[in-house]
Structure 1
Amino acid sequence: MDRLIYTAMTGAKHAFLQQAGVSQNLSNASTVGYRAMEHKFRAVPVQGDGAPTRAFVVDASVADVFEQGPLMATGRPLDVAVQGAGWITVETPDGREVYTRAGNLQVNTNGQLQTATGLNVLGDNGPIAIPPDNSITIAPDGTISTVPLFGAPNNVSVVGRIKLVNPAENDLVRGDDGLFRTRVGEPAVLDENVKLAPETLEGSNVNAADSLVNMITLARQFDMQIKMLQTADANANKASQILSMNA
Structure 2
Amino acid sequence: MIRSLHQNSSAMQLLLDKINVTSNNLANVNTAGFKKKGVFFQQLTGAEQALARDGIVKEMPAGQIAVYTDYSVGKLTYTGNSLDIALQGEGFFTIETPEGDKYTRNGNFSLDSNQNLVTAEGFAVKGEAGPVKITGNDVVIGKDGTVQADGEAINKLMIKKISNDQLVRVGSNFYVPKEGAEVEDISASGILQGYLELSNINIVSEMTNMIATQRHYEANSKVIKSADDTLRQINQIGR
For normalisation by structure 1, the TM-score amounts to 0.86
Aligned-partner residue type, residue 61 of structure 1: A
2:72 match: 67
2:103 corresponds to 1:99: yes
Structure 1 residue runs of 5 or longer lacking an equivalent are: 148-155
CA distance in 2, matches of 1:158, 1:16: 51
Cα pair 1:14 1:58 within 8 Å, conserved: no
CA distance in 1, matches of 2:128, 2:200: 29
Structure 1 segment 184-203 matched on structure 2, within 5 A: 184=179, 188-193=183-188, 195-203=190-198
Picking from 111, 114, 136, the partner of 1:110 is 114
Structure 1 segment 151-170 matched on structure 2, within 5 A: 156-170=151-165
Structure 2 residue runs of 5 or longer lacking an equivalent are: none
Aligned residues: 232
Picking from 230, 233, 238, the partner of 1:238 is 233
Structure 1 segment 1-247 matched on structure 2, within 5 A: 1-42=1-42, 47=50, 54-56=59-61, 58-94=63-99, 96-131=100-135, 133-147=136-150, 156-184=151-179, 188-193=183-188, 195-244=190-239
CA distance in 1, matches of 2:130, 2:66: 35
Cα pair 1:164 1:194 within 8 Å, conserved: no
Give SS of 1:81's match: strand
Give SS of 1:159's match: strand
1:103-150 CA deviation, whole Å, 9 max, x = no partner?
Answer: 11111111111122211000112211112x421100111100011xxx
Cα pair 1:41 1:57 within 8 Å, conserved: no
* Residues 157, 183 of structure 1: alpha-carbon distance in 2 compared, 3 angstrom cutoff: same
Give how far 1:49 is off.
Answer: 8.6
Give how far 1:186 is off.
Answer: 6.5
8-17 vs 82-91, which moves further: 8-17
Give how far 1:235 is off.
Answer: 2.0
CA distance in 2, matches of 1:89, 1:241: 65
CA distance in 2, matches of 1:12, 1:134: 56
**RMSD between aligned alpha carbons?**
2.2
Give how far 1:201 is off.
Answer: 0.8
CA distance in 1, matches of 2:115, 2:149: 12
CA distance in 1, matches of 2:212, 2:172: 28
Give how far 1:224 is off.
Answer: 1.8
The percentage of aligned residue pairs carrying the same residue is 27
Give how far 1:236 is off.
Answer: 1.1
193-202 vs 40-49, which moves further: 40-49
CA distance in 1, matches of 2:165, 2:96: 21
For normalisation by structure 2, the TM-score amounts to 0.88
1:180-237 CA deviation, whole Å, 9 max, x = no partner?
Answer: 1111277823101453112111111111111111111111121122112112112213
Greater CA radius of gyration, 1 or 2? 1
